Amino acid sequence: MNSRFVSSSLKNENEERFEQSLRPKTFDEVIGREAEKQSLSIMIESAKKRGKALDHIMFHGPPGLGKTTLSYVVASEMNVPIHITSGSAIEKTGDLAAILTSLEPNSILFIDEIHRLKRTIEEILYPAMEDNVLDIVIGKGPSAKTLRLELNQFTIIGATTKLSMISAPLRDRFGMHFRLDFYSDDELTLLVQQKARLLGIEIDDEASLKIAQRSRMTARIAIRILKRVFDLAVVKGEKIINPYLVEETLSMMGVDENGLDELDRAILRSILKNFNNRPVGLNTLAASLSEEPETIELVYEPFLIKKGFDTKNYEG
C-alpha cells in the first residue's frame, strides 16, 4: 500500500477525531440556541418516555451556524447512533435502500445539504418517513413488481442552506423546522473561551472578544480563527492567547477590523467602482470577481447584508 496514502488517511482520521473533541456532547455545552434547545429537549424527553423514535427535524440557515453540531448533540441526548451522509452522495435508489435497511432502531440519519437529493430519491423517502416502509420496484414494464420492506423506526435530520429548493411534499414531512440565525458577539465570546479550554490553552477576555467580533457572526469561523491563533501561540511559546496574538493572526489571514476578508472587500469595491453603486445581478457580480455565484450568495452576501454595509460609505 502507498505510504503516502496511509499517511493521508491517518491525518484525516486524526483531524476528524480532533474536530469531534471540540463538538459539544450535551445541550448544556451548546452555547446559545436557547429556544432551539428548549424545543428539542421537550421532543427528546417525549420520545424517550414513549419509547419511540424522535420526529423528523429540519435545520436550515447559512453555513457554519451549528446544524451538524446540533444533530450530533440530539443523537447524544437521545443516546442513539447517528449516521452521516449528504444529499449529493445518494445517487441511486439502491444507495438509499442500503442506508435505510441498515439503520438501528430509533437511530438518526443526518442528511447534509438535503436540498440536493434527487426527486426520485425523495419519493422513496416519503413512505419511509411516514410509515417506516421502503417500497422497491423490481423489474420494468408490465412485469414490474413492488417489494415492500419494513424498516426500524428512525429519525431523519435534514440540514440545508437552501430551504426553498426542497420540494413541499418532503418539507412537510419534517415535524419541526429550526432556522439557525447568526450568533451574537457575546455568544461567540463564550464559544471561543469554551473551545480554548478544550484546546488546553488560556485566553484572556479581550482576545476572546476580538475573535468574536471578527468571526462574521459564525461559530465555524470563530473556531477556525481560534485554531490559527493557537498555532501562532504554540510557535511563539506563549502560554496565554492575548489581543496582540489575535491581531497578528488576523492580519496574516487578511481579516480587517470589520471582520471582512479580501473577497468581502472585493465585492464591495466591485459594486462601488465597477457598477457605480447601482443594483447588479448575482451572476454579473460573480463574473466580475471570477467567483462562483453560490459562494457569494451563501457565504458572503448574508453577512454583508446582516451587518448593513453601505457601499456608499465604503472606502476599502
pLDDT at 131 over 80: yes
Contact 251, 225 (CB under 8 A): no
pLDDT at 27 over 60: yes
Residue 4 scores a pLDDT above 80:
no
Query: What is the band of 94 on the pLDDT scale with cuts at 50, 70, 90?
Result: confident
- How far apart CA 251 and CA 245 sit, in angstroms, is 10
Give me the count of residues in the chain: 316
Phi and psi torsions of 137, nearest 5°? -90, 125
Give counts: helices (H), strands (E), the chain.
14, 9
Ordered structural domains, the chain, with CATH: 3-179 (3.40.50.300), 185-253 (1.10.8.60), 266-313 (1.10.10.10)
Among the residue ranges 15-24, 144-153, 260-269, the one predicted with the least confidence is 15-24
Res. 251 pLDDT band, cuts 50 70 90: very high
SS3 60: strand
Give the Cα separation of 300 and 291 in Å (integer). 11
Closest by CA position to 96, among listed 119, 69, 125, 68: 125
In order of 200, 263, 315, the CA distances from 302 in angstroms are 33, 14, 20
Q: Using an 8 Å Cβ cutoff, are 188 and 33 in contact?
A: no
Out of 204-208, 245-249, 259-263, least confident range: 259-263
Quote the CA–CA distance of 118 and 116 in Å, as a whole number: 6
Q: Residue 42 has what pLDDT?
A: 97
State the distance between the two ends of the chain, measured CA to CA, in whole angstroms: 51
* Beta carbons of 127 and 134 less than 8 angstroms apart: yes
CB 53, CB 157: distance < 8 Å: no
At 8, the pLDDT band (50, 70, 90 cuts) reads: very low
Whole-model pTM: value is 0.83
**Any idea which residues carry the catalytic annotation?**
67-68, 112, 161, 220
Burial of 81 (0-12, 13-18, 19+ CB in 10 A): middle
Rounded CA-CA distance 159/288 in Å is 31
Least confident of 143-147, 151-155, 292-296: 143-147
Average pLDDT over residues 241-248: 95
Q: What is the pLDDT of residue 208?
A: 97
Q: Which of 51-65, 136-150, 222-236, 271-285 has the lowest mean pLDDT?
A: 136-150
